[in-house]
Chains A and B, each alone.
Chain A
Amino acid sequence: DVKVTQSSRYLVKRTGEKVFLECVQDMDHENMFWYRQDPGLGLRLIYFSYDVKMKEKGDIPEGYSVSREKKERFSLILESASTNQTSMYLCAISRDPTYEQYFGPGTRLTVT
């Protein structure tokens, strides 16, 4: 069974705080993705990584950065959290960027 875990299910942070969201996989997949999910907007890609230390911007990278120092771990960083970053954040992995993706349970982040 594919296992994608995310560091927290729920997180509450204050405006201006630095926020770290972590994703860990046990499948040895090269590709890892961060999405945000908002009602009525579906999933939007923030960043993805196809290898250690490699990253590419997705559709909405502004206000976010990522880090991938080890193959199994992909971190999403909000340098200075803002209220418009309140959302559900989903991590996903895939063996190939064109193949199916496997998702973690998500982190619901609230920025107050």
Chain B
Amino acid sequence: AQSVSQHNHHVILSEAASLELGCNYSYGGTVNLFWYVQYPGQHLQLLLKYFSGDPLVKGIKGFEAEFIKSKFSFNLRKPSVQWSDTAEYFCAVNWMEGGSEKLVFGKGTKLTVNP
């Protein structure tokens, strides 16, 4: 079955620390990859996406993610976090072939950034 794993449930950082959130998916083939963010009290919004091309994608607010096909991974990074990055982050994968074209979400990683 298709699945998406986010390794960390809760990450706590101080401002200016670097961030890396892991995301792995269950099997290969052509995939569309997404990171979503949910700030406290707000709706889910798209942070960045990968469909094809350069495996290093840049999103909003200084976030980036790298697609490593051989590792079935799409990790999210930010070189220097801010207090305003406190939120829950969700990785999501859509398998383009052999799948049901449904978006499968990871369980989320809660990020707390202390000032």
In angstroms, Cα B105 to Cα A43, docked, is 6
Q: Are A99 and B90 touching (Cβ within 8 A)? A: no
Residues of B within 8 A of A34 (CB): none
Selected interface stretch from B12-20, B64-72, B78-86, B95-103: B95-103
In the complex, what residue of chain A is closest to B9 when comparing beta carbons?
Answer: A40
Could you tell me if B43 and A103 are in contact, using CB atoms closer than 8 angstroms?
A: yes
Give every chain A residue within 8 A of B43 (Cβ-Cβ).
90, 103-106
Q: Are B32 and A41 within 8 A (Cβ)?
A: no
Q: How many residues on chain B are close to A (CB under 8 Å)?
A: 20
The interface residues of chain A lying within 8 Å CB-to-CB of B49 are 100
Q: Do residues A45 and B102 form an inter-chain contact, with CB atoms below 8 A? A: yes
Task: Please tell me if the beta carbons of B102 and A43 are within 8 angstroms of each other in the complex.
Answer: no
**In the complex, B11 has a CB within 8 A of chain A:** no
Please indicate the chain A residues that have their CB under 8 angstroms from the CB of B36 in the complex. Answer: 103
> Do A90 and B46 contact each other (CB < 8 Å), given the known contacts A98-B101, A101-B103?
no
